[in-house]
Amino acid sequence: MTEPTTRLLHPSYRAPEGFEAPQRGVFKASTIFFKNVAAMRSHDWRSKEGYVYGLHGTPTSFELEARLCELEGGRHCLLTPSGLSAIALVSLALLKSGDEVLLPDNAYGPNLSLAQGQLARWGITHRLYDPLDVADLTGKLSERTALVWLEAAGSVSMEFPPVAALVAACRARGVTSALDNTWGAGLAFAPFDTGVDLSIHALTKYPSGGGDVLMGSVITRDEALHQRLQAAHMRLGFGVGMNDIELILRSLPSMMMRYRAQDEAARQLAVWLAEQPEVAQVLHPALPGSPGHAHWRALCAADGGGGLAAGLFSIILHDRYSRAEADAVCDRLRLFKLGFSWGGPISLAVPYDLASMRGGWPRHLAPGTLVRFSLGLESVRDLRADLAQALAGLPPR
């Protein structure tokens, strides 16, 4: 007969089978028990038919991986602790010294920073290509090119590239292409229909929707590619907390509604801002005249309807205003908060120093100061009034 304290640790109670509810249970573990030594010896950490160690997954992480595969149309999914670590996993898994990686010139800043920092230290070079110019990418593909990153749309200046044509150029040279699919979120278009080899997604944005979780995913359809990514994922120890996964699982069912609502709000405000005399240009892929609009239409509104877009856009304030005056517009905002990230419930504004990010002012953009807005879930009328009062504080012409 064991002592009560021991029985507390080795309980005989087993919950009955058959519990079904909208949310599944959350399975947390570092240690996972094996049935016997034979099972322990023959374990395969790669297989999702069983369990080995918390770092390689529990029913909770397998569940999110499976649902994300459904969302994006992929076959294999790996979860990482942030969107940036999903990017890092791909680059670390697929690149070695002597290789070159190509990035769009409007790439997500930290992806470029990874290339300039860690990758450069390991003898991996990078070059930037113009994502609106397939010939520019083609001309830069070389024997050393091992990976090409794509982003649709670019996360600050919002250019929408011809994704399928860029991917086809990579395929023709046998080069792996990776799409940062955070903007499309698996909703605006089906990433693998473009032919891309893998898709990374900052689940931090729309799948979370709360502004309170960091997570990333890497999804592919290709078995061999998945194996390379999975091996690097295991060696790097990119585990994810199950409570964080629970938050994502809880938010996924409302993602399409949130995406649509924020899309609609963003388009209404973008159209209104385009009419304001203080604004030199509005950068929103669904707005005619925005760089790459035709490519957005071809990929995201191919049925001739209104299509889908993330609730994210930038404006360029007229260059008659100084940087300080543009900053003051942002400081006057009350409902829009100043903060990074997007896809959450609170609307956000960020002024960017685009010239220093791009090594000069891009020729296809009007001169001025760029401010990016991401839409939350507030009333559009209140947000418009907030923007109007912030712009009204600018000095008269």
Ligand X SMILES: *Cc1c(COP(=O)(O)O)cnc(C)c1O
- Per DSSP, the three-state class of 170 is helix
User: Which range binds ligand X by CB under 6 A, 160-168, 201-209, 270-278, 292-300?
Assistant: 201-209
- Give whichever of 344 and 368 is closer to ligand X, judged by the CB atom: 344
- Give whichever of 124 and 185 is closer to ligand X, judged by the CB atom: 185
224 preceded by a cis bond (ω within 30 of 0): no
Residue of the chain from 72, 105, 180, 278 that contacts ligand X (CB under 6 A): 180
Q: Does 82 bind ligand X (CB under 6 A)?
A: yes
Q: Does 104 bind ligand X (CB under 6 A)?
A: no
User: Which range binds ligand X by CB under 6 A, 96-104, 164-172, 198-206, 288-296?
Assistant: 198-206
Q: Does 108 bind ligand X (CB under 6 A)?
A: yes
Dihedral sign from CA coordinates of 319, 322, 323, 325 = negative
* Distance, CA of 230 to CA of 89 (rounded, Å): 9
Q: Does 369 bind ligand X (CB under 6 A)?
A: no
Classify burial at 201, counting beta carbons within 10 Å of its beta carbon; exposed 0-12, middle 13-18, buried 19 or more: buried
State phi, psi for 295 to the nearest 5 degrees: -70, -40
Q: Does 219 bind ligand X (CB under 6 A)?
A: no
User: Which range binds ligand X by CB under 6 A, 13-21, 36-44, 200-208, 386-394?
Assistant: 200-208
Q: Does 374 bind ligand X (CB under 6 A)?
A: no
Of all residues in the shown chain, the one whose CB is closest to ligand X is 83
Residue of the chain from 145, 182, 199, 230 that contacts ligand X (CB under 6 A): 182
| Cβ contacts of 250 within 8 Å, gap of 6 or more | 23
CB 203, min distance to ligand X, A: 7
Q: Does 214 bind ligand X (CB under 6 A)?
A: yes
252 to 271: interface string for ligand X, x by CB under 6 A:
--------------------
State phi, psi for 80 to the nearest 5 degrees: -135, 160
Q: Does 204 bind ligand X (CB under 6 A)?
A: yes
CB 286, min distance to ligand X, A: 17
CB 176, min distance to ligand X, A: 18
CB atoms within 10 A of CB 26: 15
* Distance, CA of 178 to CA of 200 (rounded, Å): 7
Q: Does 202 bind ligand X (CB under 6 A)?
A: yes
Q: Does 208 bind ligand X (CB under 6 A)?
A: no
CB 47, min distance to ligand X, A: 28
Q: Does 218 bind ligand X (CB under 6 A)?
A: no
Residue of the chain from 207, 216, 351, 376 that contacts ligand X (CB under 6 A): 216
Q: Does 291 bind ligand X (CB under 6 A)?
A: no
> Which 138-157 positions form the footprint of ligand X (CB under 6 A)?
155
CB atoms within 10 A of CB 165: 15
Residue 172's H or E segment, with its range, is helix 163-172
- Alpha carbon 21 to its chain centroid, in Å, reads 30
* Distance, CA of 144 to CA of 171 (rounded, Å): 15
* Distance, CA of 125 to CA of 385 (rounded, Å): 47
Asked if 244 contacts 29 with a C-beta cutoff of 8 angstroms, the reply is no
Amino acid occupying residue 113: S
Asked if 221 contacts 74 with a C-beta cutoff of 8 angstroms, the reply is yes
Residue of the chain from 57, 83, 311, 351 that contacts ligand X (CB under 6 A): 83
Estimate the crossing angle of helix 380-392 against helix 255-274, to 10 degrees: 30
State phi, psi for 217 to the nearest 5 degrees: -140, 150
- Give whichever of 145 and 155 is closer to ligand X, judged by the CB atom: 155
- Give whichever of 64 and 280 is closer to ligand X, judged by the CB atom: 64
Residues comprising the chain, all counted: 397
CB 166, min distance to ligand X, A: 16
**Which residue has 């191919």 as its token pair?**
302
> Which 324-363 positions form the footprint of ligand X (CB under 6 A)?
341
Residues that bind ligand X (CB under 6 A): 82-84, 108, 155, 180, 182, 202, 204-205, 214, 216, 341
